[in-house]
Amino acid sequence: MSYFPYNFHGHIEVICGPMFSGKTEELIRRVRRAQIARQKIQIFKPALDTRYDEVQVVSHSAQSIPSEPVESARDILKHLKDSTRIVAIDEVQFFDKAIVEVVSKLAERGYRVICAGLDLDYKSVPFGAMPELLAIADEVIKVKAICTICGAPASRSQRIIQSVDQVVLGEKNEYEARCRGHFDYESHLRNLDESEKSAPLN
């Protein structure tokens, strides 16, 4: 990894919010703007996020940009090219805890780092390393979705399928955006209990 001149300062931006809030669109918008300015960018995502496409970062609204899937946070450092100035990381909540050190290191070395990810999981509990990433960020962008019940701004992801795994890769049939008032983790548990009576979980 190369170091940049003293006058090039690193910067950490974290875009977060619930499902369907446009996190990836905002990441793509920032990346495209930098590409217009001819800045060299690499886009990474965790290898486990295989929905839609293996090598593209694709948003729910089907915008896409090429990306490099990596197995672990430290692999981002291994795959950095000398010419890169901006590192974008999508679905950052799925990375291991080392992502915090990796992102810090990149900023210290002068890179602009743009991360996008879920701030909360389906229980409304902070997701993975997101609390630390939000704390070390220079800029935090919280984007909102629209509550499917009342149309208010939504900050929560309601799981509407029966699973207790923290990682269920989201698509339209598995989650709904909900406002704080309509987020109901208890109802998810009640549904789970009833389904357990009739059918075993996979």
Using the rule CB under 5 A, which residue among 46, 114, 179, 188 binds Zn ion? 179
Beta carbon of residue 160, minimum distance to Zn ion (angstroms, whole number): 14
Q: Which C-beta is closer to Zn ion: that of 131 or that of 181? A: 181
Q: Which C-beta is closer to Zn ion: that of 94 or that of 175? A: 175
Query: 55 CB contacts (<8 Å, ≥6 apart)?
Result: 66, 67, 68, 69
91, 108, 171, 194: the active-site residue: 91
Q: What whole-number distance in Å separates Cα of residue 28 and Cα of residue 33?
A: 9
Q: By CB under 5 A, what part of segment 118-177 binds Zn ion?
A: 147, 149-150, 152
Active-site residue flag, 91: yes
DSSP states along 34-61: HHHTT--EEEEEETT--SS-SSEEE-TT
Beta carbon of residue 184, minimum distance to Zn ion (angstroms, whole number): 10
Q: Which C-beta is closer to Zn ion: that of 42 or that of 158? A: 158
- According to the binding rule CB under 5 A, does residue 182 interact with Zn ion? yes
Task: Please give the biggest Cα pair distance in the chain.
Answer: 64
Instruction: Give catalytic residue positions.
Output: 91
